[in-house]
């Protein structure tokens, strides 16, 4: 698994479709997660963002999903196996921020900040 595939694997592991934020298919239905793809090599920490998207009049479900992700990362982060090493994802700060959508009052978005360290020489 390469670095971009590892990011996809991590964000897809929360029971929602996950898309590189530049490749969301036309007509994709919420809920889903979009995420940045930015990579580096050993000893460099990359700050990344992801967004959880729900279509709802309530913040309850989307907040539960953000809490689920926070819980998984809170115990020292999460590693994902790469072909030649590991990806280590830890929470960033601030971890979560709610956003509204001026085009639709029912779109709920929470932006998540994480740090990724690619524990690989390449």
CATH number of the domain where residue 104 is located: 3.30.2000.30
Residue 110: CA count within 13 A, CB half-sphere: 23
Among the listed residues 118, 117, 113, 71, the one whose alpha carbon sits nearest the alpha carbon of residue 91:
113
For residue 57, report the phi and psi dihedrals to the nearest 5 degrees. -90, -5
Q: What is the pLDDT, as a whole number, of residue 107?
A: 96
What's residue 122's pLDDT? 64
Is residue 88 pLDDT above 80, yes or no?
yes
DSSP tag of 25:
P
The pLDDT of residue 94 is above 80: yes
Convert the pLDDT of each residue in 96-114 to its tens digit: 999 989 999 999 999 999 9
For residues 15-38, average pLDDT:
96
Question: What pTM, to 2 d.p., does this model score?
Answer: 0.93
Q: Which domain holds residue 90?
A: 3-119
39/62 Cα distance (integer angstroms): 27
Give the CA-trace dihedral at 18, 115, 99, 28, to 10 degrees. Answer: -10
Provide the domain count of the chain.
Answer: 1
pLDDT in tens, 41-87: 777 899 999 999 999 999 999 999 999 999 999 989 999 999 888 99
Residue 48, token pair as written in the block: 């990344």
pLDDT given for residue 42 in this prediction: 72
The Cβ of residue 66 has, within 10 Å, a number of other Cβ atoms equal to 20
Mean pLDDT of 1-5: 92
- Specify the pLDDT at position 121: 63
């Amino acid at each position: 698994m390469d670095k971009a595939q590892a990011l996809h694997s991590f964000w897809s592991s929360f029971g929602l479709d996950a898309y590189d934020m530049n490749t969301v298919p036309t007509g994709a239905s919420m809920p889903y997660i979009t995420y940045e793809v930015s990579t580096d090599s050993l000893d460099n920490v990359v700050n990344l963002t992801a967004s959880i998207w729900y279509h709802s009049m309530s913040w309850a479900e989307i907040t539960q999903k953000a809490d689920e992700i926070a819980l998984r990362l809170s115990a020292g982060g999460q590693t994902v196996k790469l072909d030649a090493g590991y990806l280590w994802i830890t929470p960033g700060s601030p971890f979560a921020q709610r956003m509204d959508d001026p085009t639709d009052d029912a779109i709920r978005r929470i932006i998540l900040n994480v740090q990724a360290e690619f524990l690989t020489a390449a």
